[in-house]
Structure 1
Amino acid sequence: MSEENPLVLVVEDERDLAELYTTWLAESYRVRTVNDGRAALDALEDEVRVVLLDRRMPDLSGDEVLDALRERGLDCRVAMVTAVEPDTGVLEMGFDDYLVKPVSREELTRTVSNLLVRDEYDEGVRRLFSLASKKALLESERNRKELEGSEKYQQLLDDIERLRDELDDKLARLSETDDLTRVYQDIARDDGEE
């Protein structure tokens, strides 16, 4: 495998699951696997492009690892891969995507691929993708009535709309690419498009 392939860090305390994710990803990426939060902090470096992060770990939670990663200013994309059902509290977290276990090989590999595509765009566009992912996540896991009554969810909708307005010209130019189409699905769904 070429040194040019992106490096993915898998942080998962269930060793069998960590090995499975590594096997699935190793065909296309360089993969480093750690089994606890402290080891994750030691393994984080500038070369890591994507982190797949479990939320519940015994020594240091995925939430704490995520906070430390963002405090260090590391420029990598993060997907939480966890059995923790999301609530509106996830809106304040600095992840780019969120997968609820169990995940399929296709879902995991598609997520890593999409995160790498997102990484090519500037911060504003990445932020919009992250917010759209959170919106889609909440809409798939929570009922509409609960969301409509949530101030945090309404703020999320306002933030998406504001960012869309700011990025309108840029998104129009980017929408001509196939890569954008792959990661733009959640945003398009918000407009009622399929």
Structure 2
Amino acid sequence: MSDDPPVVLVVEDEPDLADLYAAWLGDDYDVRTAYGGQEALEQLDEDVSIVLLDRRMPGLSGDEVLVAVRDHGIECRVAMVTAVEPDFDIVAMGFDDYLVKPVTREALTETVESLLRRSEYDTGVQEYFALASKKAVLESEKGRAALEESDEYRDLDARLEHLRENLDESLEDLDRHDDFERAFRDIGRADDGTDFGF
């Protein structure tokens, strides 16, 4: 295993913000910055462990960059860091976490640390984390009525339950690690603390 720090690619069309994120992370990670979608694809390679990706950018959007990353089979974790309020379309997107701007230094660093931990697990557990993150962000942004009416949310909830049943043994192993609660912080992240399980 390499002693080199993990590579984090910050993709943000506001240079000051991209540079701020890079400064926050620079002590612990090898940080690359891209000020647009096309530049992000040019900097993306197998060395990149984490991508922090803005959604709304001129030219190639963050959504398009995300599709390109997944289509090329690059094994990295992706967090959308964006001012775009999440809607039910995020259920079908291939990201691992979703942060709504403005984000704090603590939230950004915790997200990168969490994504790096997730990378250590198999694809089933990674999928579980990604779906749990989507569920948590929808519950924090949408009202109960909207959740109850959404086919996408019901499908997401069913997929999570199915994965949980299939991953019980792996999740029990995770439970024995000290960072289990932090890894699952997303599951209980809803603003009002309501359990939206149907």
Indicate the TM-score class for this superposition, using the shorter chain for normalisation: over 0.9
1:97-151 Cα shifts (integer Å, max 9, x gaps): 0000000000000000000000000000000000000000000011011001101
1:92 maps onto 2:92 in alignment? yes
What's the secondary structure of 2:139's corresponding residue?
helix
What's the secondary structure of 1:78's corresponding residue?
strand
Runs of 4+ in structure 1 over 4 Å off: 188-192
Contact 2:137 2:189 survives alignment (8 Å): no
Deviation at 1:188, TM superposition (A): 6.2
Deviation at 1:186, TM superposition (A): 3.0
What's the secondary structure of 1:178's corresponding residue?
coil
1:139-170 Cα shifts (integer Å, max 9, x gaps): 00110110011011000000000000000011
Deviation at 1:185, TM superposition (A): 2.6
Trace 1:28-39 onto structure 2 (pairs within 5 A): 28-39=28-39
Partner in structure 1 of residue 151 of structure 2: 151
**Aligned-residue RMSD, C-alpha:** 1.6
5+ long unaligned stretches in structure 2: none
5+ long unaligned stretches in structure 1: none
What's the secondary structure of 2:120's corresponding residue?
coil
1:133 maps to a residue whose letter is S
- State the alpha-carbon separation in 2 of the partners of residues 174 and 135 from structure 1: 20
What's the secondary structure of 1:60's corresponding residue?
coil
Aligned-pair identity (%): 58
What's the secondary structure of 1:128's corresponding residue?
helix
Deviation at 1:189, TM superposition (A): 7.0
**Aligned positions, number:** 191
TM-score, with normalisation over the residues of structure 1?
0.95
Trace 1:1-194 onto structure 2 (pairs within 5 A): 4-187=4-187
- State the alpha-carbon separation in 2 of the partners of residues 70 and 101 from structure 1: 24
- State the alpha-carbon separation in 1 of the partners of residues 112 and 186 from structure 2: 16
Contact 2:83 2:101 survives alignment (8 Å): yes
